[in-house]
């Protein structure tokens, strides 16, 4: 299955490396506004390089049908690339978030419906065994009804994005859209569509895109989620994420720093136990995600991240932002 990747920054390179170990996929073209960078990477991976998606779609034709386009551009450019790819006739995977503005998100969804194209949003946490585990705990009611999902995700002030687009809220949507949407999507995946929204934000003095945010989401089944996220931690702070799921008869905790690698902790009936996740799936969640995307295209089976769910995540962020004003 032939594909093109557009946007060869941090995520584009991560995806490119992952496809190299997925036998059913072949990246035939890469696109980046930075020509020198695109040429260098294309040489290394034996594919064609372009500075626009239109020209990549036409120059890569000789390699055969282009089945998919993988969009790893800064978030405000997702819409234009997704529409170009779908108009050409390709299916699409887009890095999270689906889009920054609701208009862009809805336009992508409508285009996919109108043309019958398949679009998956790369909400990578769904491809990590720890999150899969709690999804099954909630679904099976292993510990009774779920009451609360708390999640947190913190990093240094981002210094890695091209021209610091992550520092500008008008481009990234801010910390809540760029970073916290990972956990917001998981909360919705566990509990459904939220009905109540509250958020408090402390901003960075110089960078509108970076803040520390605490949110509460209320769900119809009387479950609550509280998501905390921040781009304000000092230099040297290790990227940290984790969660706590509290149910009627048990609780589960996990985080990236303090737990045994690959394990979660379950507390129930007076006992605490580590549950290893190490043998669940290969350790690289991006590889799991892209393997799933290619497999679902090939077998015409549903994506684990439904496009309406990705739209719900963007709508939830906008509702939380509205609750602050
Ligand atoms: N899933 C995750 O864990 C995760 C992590 C980081 C970023 N992301 C998402 O991935 C996307 C990309 O983020 P990133 O961190 O890789 O960004 P980045 O700044 O590292 O890279 C963006 C790349 O796109 C190129 N580019 C910019 N505008 C372009 C255009 N119009 N045409 C062609 N190329 C263009 C830039 O030259 C750069 O190489 C964003 O949507 C972001 O939210 C997801």
Q: What is the pLDDT of residue 165?
A: 96
| Residue nearest atom 15 in ligand 1 by C-alpha distance | 10
C-alpha span between 127 and 105 (Å, rounded): 22
C-alpha span between 65 and 33 (Å, rounded): 24
- 3-state secondary structure string across 131-185: HHHHHHHHHHCECECEEEEEEEEEEECCCCCHHHHHHCHHHHCHHHHHCCHHHHH
Instruction: Tell me the Ramachandran region of residue 245: left when phi exceeds 0, alpha when psi lies from -120 to 50, beta otherwise.
Output: beta
Which regions of the chain are under pLDDT 50?
none
Q: How many angstroms separate the alpha carbon of residue 78 from the centre of ligand 1?
A: 10
**Contact present, 194 and 187 (Cβ < 8 Å):** yes
Q: What is the pLDDT of residue 221?
A: 83
Ligand 1 neighbours, Cβ below 6 Å, are: 6-12, 31-34, 72-75, 77, 95-96, 122, 124, 161-162, 165, 178
Q: What is the pLDDT of residue 260?
A: 62
**Contact present, 211 and 230 (Cβ < 8 Å):** yes
Q: What is the pLDDT of residue 22?
A: 97
Q: Which of 4, 7, 293 to mutate to test the pocket of ligand 1 (most atoms within 8 A of CB)?
A: 7
Q: What is the pLDDT of residue 238?
A: 85
Q: What is the pLDDT of residue 27?
A: 97
Residues 6+ apart with CB under 8 A from 144: 247, 248, 249, 250
CA dist 52 → 23, 32, 74, 121 (Å): 26, 7, 14, 21
Residue ranges of domains in the chain, CATH in brackets: 2-122+287-304 (3.40.50.720), 125-281 (3.30.360.10)
**Contact present, 301 and 124 (Cβ < 8 Å):** no
What is the residue-wise DSSP string for 41-89? Answer: HHHHHT-EEESSHHHHHHHGGGG--EEEEEE-S-GGGHHHHHHHHHHHT
CA dist 310 → 181, 192, 270, 323 (Å): 10, 12, 38, 20
CA 205 to chain centre: 27
Q: What is the pLDDT of residue 200?
A: 97
């Amino acid at each position: 299955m032939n594909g093109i990747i557009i946007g060869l920054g941090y995520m584009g390179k991560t995806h490119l490396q992952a496809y190299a170990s997925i036998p059913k996929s072949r990246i035939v073209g890469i696109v980046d506004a930075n020509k020198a960078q695109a040429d260098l990477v294309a040489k290394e991976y034996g594919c064609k390089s372009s500075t626009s998606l239109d020209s990549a779609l036409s120059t890569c034709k000789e390699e055969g049908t282009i089945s998919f386009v993988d969009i790893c551009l800064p978030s405000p450019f997702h819409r234009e690339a997704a529409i170009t790819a779908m108009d050409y006739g390709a299916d699409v995977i887009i890095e999270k978030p689906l889009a920054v503005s609701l208009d862009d998100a809805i336009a992508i969804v409508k285009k996919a419906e109108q043309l019958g194209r398949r679009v998956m949003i790369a909400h990578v946490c769904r491809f990590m065994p720890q999150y899969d585990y709690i999804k099954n705990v909630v679904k099976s009611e292993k510990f009774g009804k779920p009451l609360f999902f708390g999640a947190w995700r913190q990093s240094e002030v981002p210094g890695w994005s091209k021209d610091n687009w992550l520092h500008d809220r008008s481009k990234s949507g801010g910390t809540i859209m760029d970073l916290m949407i990972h956990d917001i999507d998981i909360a919705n995946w566990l509990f459904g569509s939220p009905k109540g929204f509250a958020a408090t934000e402390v901003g960075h003095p110089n960078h509108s895109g970076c803040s520390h945010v605490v949110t509460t989401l209320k769900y119809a089944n009387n479950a609550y989620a509280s998501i905390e996220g921040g781009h304000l931690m000092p230099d040297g702070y290790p990227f940290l994420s984790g969660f706590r799921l509290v149910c009627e008869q048990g609780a589960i905790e996990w985080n990236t720093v303090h737990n045994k690698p690959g394990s979660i902790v379950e507390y129930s009936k007076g006992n605490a136990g580590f549950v290893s996740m190490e043998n669940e799936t290969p350790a690289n969640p991006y590889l799991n995600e892209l393997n799933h995307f290619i497999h679902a295209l090939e077998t015409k089976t549903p994506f684990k991240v439904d496009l309406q769910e990705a739209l719900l995540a963007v709508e939830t962020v906008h509702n939380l932002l509205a609750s602050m004003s």
